[in-house]
Amino acid sequence: MKKTIKYIEIASALVGLAPLGTAIWSAVKFVTSTSDKTFYFFIGLTSISILGLISLFYIVQQSKFKNTNVFKIEELLDNYYENEGRKFIDNNGGQYLINKTKNSIKDLEKKGVTGTLSQDVYYIYLYSLLNGASKRIWAASIMGEEEWVDTPEEEEFLRLNLLASRRDVLVERIFIIEKSAVKKMLDNPAIKIMIARRNDYMKTYFIIKEALVKARQNLLTDIGSGFLAFDDFAIASDVFEDSYIRGILNLDDGTIKKNNRIFTNLRDFAKPLDQNFIEEFENSLEHGNESNL
């Protein structure tokens, strides 16, 4: 997208050279000539008008591209790399990873959705969107084995979630978990930190998977492998393959609205994942009442 704008700048400049040169030539002739002043005035006025139209075309096209979500995402990628993410990216592929990520933007430009992204590229998109979110981040997670890992990628993901909440961005996370895995979830370092930091801008919830299957099977189907949305302009859908976390980035407004309705229904069904729940769960384990979850 930025390359397109650059090409427009270069093309506008090159095309503008002819009328600019003609305007200067006609102005000189108008001043120095003793005859045909009307002719040179007309040539100069026409050249200036053409130059004005070229400038207007450039401004309109530049504004058109800069107002797109694709351009915004490219800006967020650059901002993450140049600021919060420089250390992480330099330690994990550097400029090669940035270029690899930007190459996938072509699909966004053409279709508004990417294909299934490789794990490294998918994470960079998530990091950039987390780092650039200004209002709201909402996510539904199916706690598969791939999400229990303690890796530098997951550490960076957690860090950026916490930073977003500190910027007063509302971060809402719903974890859908099997009853037998609740203890494992509560022992997860990242979950522990999010619960400890739970406040008005970091809200964590949970849903017991078996209860959701029984009450709202369609919701579980709609969630797929989980999703994350950013400021209601982009949504990322997880794809788990061969023990890797991959994903798809989508800018389609209809898809985002649909997932927002799904998330709202999930939140109405969910329970707060907070310190009170931890105490209740630990108490239920002591008394053998885990079935009350």
Q: Which domain holds residue 282?
A: 73-292
Give SS3 for 289. coil
Task: Give residue for tokens 């959705």.
Answer: 113
**Local confidence pLDDT in tens for the 293 residues of the chain:** 555 555 455 654 555 556 666 657 666 666 676 566 676 666 767 767 776 766 665 555 555 444 477 788 889 999 999 999 989 988 888 888 888 888 888 888 888 899 999 999 999 999 999 999 999 999 999 876 656 667 889 999 999 999 999 999 999 999 999 998 999 889 999 999 999 999 999 999 999 999 999 988 888 888 888 999 999 889 999 988 777 788 999 999 999 999 999 999 999 899 999 999 988 888 887 766 655 56
Shared domain for 41 and 184, answered yes or no, is no
What is the rounded radius of gyration, in angstroms, for the C-alpha atoms of the chain?
27
The total of other beta-carbon atoms located within 10 Å of residue 264's CB is 11
Same domain, 94 and 177: yes
Q: How far is CA 120 from CA 90, 109, 154, 190, 278, in A?
A: 13, 20, 12, 20, 34
Same domain, 95 and 187: yes
The Cα 292–Cα 17 span in angstroms is: 77
- Number of structural domains in the chain: 2
The residue among 66, 86, 121 that closes a domain is 66
Domain boundary pick from 47, 66, 85: 66
pTM for the full predicted model? 0.76
Query: Please, what sign has the CA dihedral across residues 32, 35, 40, 42?
Result: positive
- Pick the last residue of a domain from 66, 93, 115: 66
- Grouping H, G, I as helix, E, B as strand and the rest as coil, residue 151 is coil
